[in-house]
């Protein structure tokens, strides 16, 4: 438990009931700490252009990892979808993309469009991917929608404060 590897234990002893009640949160903390341990090395070992490429590549690998285990995985491979750190790398890096690619500097009208697109994607995407014939793809799609929505919400919150649409959000 103190080595932040509880998630790897859960992969090997995957149970549909999930982790125990008392240690249920440790898999998430393990994944977070593993990410925060290795993420700074991207900036120490790579230049700015290489970091951009590496982040996009890691996001793609994370999505492909989930896709592989959703489509080709057996019942025993669900542990990889639920507890493997590669499964959640795109979630961590979606927020980092805003600052790595300096998306916080884009025009406010573009930010509003991105936010509206993410909301529409959630509404329309949820209708299709929560059906029986989509297998485990909802795990990929739902996380992608949430990542995009919260990243666009973060972009919205980074807009300069004025008496406009995001003003009420910033007051919370």
In this prediction, residue 40 carries a pLDDT of 92
Which pair of tokens denotes residue 127? 């209708």
Highest mean pLDDT among 15-24, 79-88, 126-135, 160-169: 79-88
As a whole number, mean pLDDT of residues 18-23 equals 61
Residues 6+ apart with CB under 8 A from 61: 86, 89
Q: Is the pLDDT reported for residue 172 higher than 70? A: no
- The distance between the two most distant Cα atoms of the chain, rounded to a whole number of Å, is 53
Burial class of residue 122, CB neighbours in 10 A (0-12, 13-18, 19+)? middle
Confidence of residue 163 (pLDDT cuts 50, 70, 90): low
What are 85-97's pLDDT values in tens digits?
A: 888 899 899 888 9
pLDDT: which is higher, 115 or 167: 115
In this prediction, residue 35 carries a pLDDT of 92
CA-wise closest residue to 10 among 78, 105, 68: 78
Q: What is the pTM of this model?
A: 0.80
What are 44-55's pLDDT values in tens digits?
A: 999 999 999 999
The dihedral through the CA atoms of 72, 77, 146, 40 has a sign that is negative
What are 107-136's pLDDT values in tens digits?
A: 888 988 999 999 998 887 766 665 555 556
Rounded to an integer, what distance in angstroms lies between the CA atom of residue 75 and that of residue 95?
A: 31
As a whole number, mean pLDDT of residues 66-93 equals 81
Rounded to an integer, what distance in angstroms lies between the CA atom of residue 88 and that of residue 133?
A: 24
Q: Is the pLDDT reported for residue 58 higher than 80? A: yes
């Amino acid at each position: 438990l103190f080595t932040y590897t509880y998630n790897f234990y859960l992969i090997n002893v995957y149970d549909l009931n999930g982790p125990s009640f008392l240690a249920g949160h440790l898999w998430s903390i393990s994944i977070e700490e593993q990410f925060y341990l290795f993420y700074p090395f991207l900036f120490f070992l790579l230049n700015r252009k290489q970091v951009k490429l590496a982040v996009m590549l890691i996001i793609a690998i994370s999505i492909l990892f989930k896709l592989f285990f959703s489509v080709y995985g057996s019942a025993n491979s669900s542990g990889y979808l639920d507890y493997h750190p590669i499964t959640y790398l795109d979630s961590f890096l979606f927020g980092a993309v805003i600052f790595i690619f300096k998306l916080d500097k884009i025009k406010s009208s573009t930010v509003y469009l991105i936010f509206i697109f993410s909301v529409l994607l959630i509404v329309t995407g949820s209708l299709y991917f929560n059906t029986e014939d989509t297998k485990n793809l909802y795990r990929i799609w739902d996380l992608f929608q949430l990542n995009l929505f919260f990243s666009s919400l973060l972009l919205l919150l980074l807009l300069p404060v004025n008496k406009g649409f995001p003003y009420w959000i910033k007051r919370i």
